[in-house]
Amino acid sequence: MTSRRRFLLQSSLIAAALFAGSASAQQKEVTIAYQDMLVPWRVAHDAGELEKATGYKINFRQIAGGGDVIRALASGQIHIGEAGSAPIAAGISQGLPVELFWILDDINDAEALVVRNGSGIESLADLKGKRIGVPFTSTTHFHTLVALEHAGINPNDVKIVNLRPPEIAAAWERGDIDATFVWEPVLSRVAANGKILVSSGDISRQTGKTTFDGIVVNKEWAKENPAFLAQFVKVLAAADQRYARDKAAWTAGSPEVLSIAKITGAKPEDVPAGLALYRFPTPADQASATWLGGGADGGAARSLAATAAFLKSQGTIANVLPDYSAGVNAAYVEQAAK
C-alpha cells in the first residue's frame, strides 16, 4: 500500500472515530420512572423497544409510589413517570410543571380494599378503629376516603397509615395492619389470607369518581423532546394492541407474562388475572373527550378536578384549580390515533 493511500485510509478511520464519538456524545438520554402495575407496556420495556424506536439512552428507575414519582419529576431527578390520578391531581394543583400525556390504564378492579381474615371486618362500617395501610396521595388513598365518605364513616374514626406497597406487604405479614387498599403484585399476596371488601371499580360505579394510572412528563423536557414522546406513545399503543389482540395467549408461561413478572416482581401465575382487572384505552379513546381530549370537559381533566376537590376536603392539598386541562396534553395520542 502506498504511503498516500495509507495516509488517506488512516485519515478516514480517524474521521470515522471522531464522528462516532461525537454522535455518541450527542445521544439523547431520558430517565423514566415506573411502578409495579401489571400492564402490557412492561413487555416493550423489557424488550428495549423504546430504545430501538427513539435512539435515546433510557434509564429506567422503579419508584414505589405515585407521590414520589411526582416529586422526582418536579425536582428534575426524572423526566417521565407513571403515577395514579390522585398524585397527578395533587401535583398539578400545587403548580408543579408536569402534564399527563397517556392513560396507562383505567384502574377498574385492579385496586381493591382487602381486610385480614380474623379481623372481624365484614363491612366498611367495621373499619372504625382499625388500621388501614395505603400509600398517601395515591389512587387507593383517594378511593379509601371516597369509600368511607360514601358509607357515612368519618375518616378520623379510622387509622389510615402511610405505607408504600412493599411496606404494606411487610406490615401485613407482621400483622401490623387490619386492612389495605392496594394493587398488584401486593394485592394477590394480601388477598391470600384476606377478603376483598370493595374494588376501585365498585367505588367508581357507586360514586362516579373514577381513578386511572397515567404517564406524565416534565413540561420543559416535553417541549424539547416532542418527537421522543410521539414515538413513546406509539410503542405504548402497540403494546396494548398486542395484548388486546391475543390476550388468551398471555398465560403464566408465555414470554409476555414472564417479561411482566421480571420487571414488576410479580409471580407469573398472578399476572394474567392481574392484567384482566384493568382496562386499556386505545389511542382513539384517549384522544377523545372520554379521556385526554375535550379540554376542561374531558374525562381526564374532570377526573383530576374531582380528585383534587376531594383531596382538598380531606386536607391533603391546599388548592384546587378551576381547570385541569392545562395539565393534560392530548397532542401525542392524537398523532397516534391518525
Phi and psi, residue 96, nearest 5°:
-70, 145
**pLDDT-flagged residues of the chain (< 70):** 1-26
pLDDT of residue 9: 35
Q: Strand, coil or helix: what is 79?
A: coil
Q: Where are the beta strands (DSSP E) in the chain?
A: 29-34, 57-62, 80-84, 98-106, 111-116, 131-134, 159-162, 179-183, 194-199, 212-218
- What CA–CA distance (Å, rounded) separates 275 from 112? 14
Q: Which residues pair with 194 in a beta bridge?
A: 116
Region for residue 105 given its phi and psi (left: phi exceeds 0; alpha: psi -120 to 50; beta: otherwise): beta
Q: Using an 8 Å Cβ cutoff, are 300 and 106 in contact?
A: no
pLDDT of residue 26: 56
Q: Strand, coil or helix: what is 279?
A: strand
- What CA–CA distance (Å, rounded) separates 284 from 279? 14
- What CA–CA distance (Å, rounded) separates 48 from 42? 10
Instruction: Report all structural domains of the chain as residue ranges with CATH numbers, in order of start.
Output: 27-106+211-337 (3.40.190.10), 111-207 (3.40.190.10)
- What CA–CA distance (Å, rounded) separates 96 from 88? 10
- What CA–CA distance (Å, rounded) separates 94 from 71? 11
Residue 326 has a CB neighbour count (10 Å cut-off) of 14
Specify the DSSP class assigned to residue 223: H
Closest CA to 159 of 139, 121, 132: 132
- What CA–CA distance (Å, rounded) separates 222 from 319? 25
